[in-house]
Amino acid sequence: MTKPIIASAREIAADLRAHENDVDATLAGQARLISRLIEARKSAGLPAMVGAEIVDQAIAAVSQCGELRRTVRGIHASLAAIDIRAVGDESDCPVTGAASLAVVATSEAKSLTA
């Protein structure tokens, strides 16, 4: 893998981890909000019907956050499945990838005796 690809992969991984943390923080915040809504209603001695629609909306938001979290995990898995090992041009490799070292040895011997 070339250095730019490795650098990009590290940046993407860092961004993805930060995004995962943000989603988790949002989900935790929604849970706290629901808890506070319920506790406020109970401490005020109000019936469960008061604010029920608001609690339902907050619960729906938690569900949407859960879906977002699953989607982000899917992104993580999809990125992990990318298997780039090397990057080069799209041409075929040469038929022979080696040359005889005798040519090098002969040239070197001639230059040493000259």
Element (H, E) at 98: none
- Asked if residue 100 is part of any domain, the answer here is no
- Asked if residue 113 is part of any domain, the answer here is no
* pLDDT at residue 94 tops 80: no
Per-residue model confidence (pLDDT) at position 59: 96
Question: pTM for the full model?
Answer: 0.64
Tokens 């990838």: give the residue. 97
The per-residue pLDDT for range 19-77, each reduced to its tens digit, is 999 999 999 999 999 999 999 999 999 999 999 999 999 999 999 999 999 999 999 88
Give the chain's length: 114
Helix, strand or coil, per DSSP, at residue 85: coil
Residues spanned by the domain of 50: 3-90
- Asked if residue 98 is part of any domain, the answer here is no
Per-residue model confidence (pLDDT) at position 42: 96
Count of structural domains within the chain: 1
* pLDDT at residue 100 tops 60: no
Per-residue model confidence (pLDDT) at position 10: 87
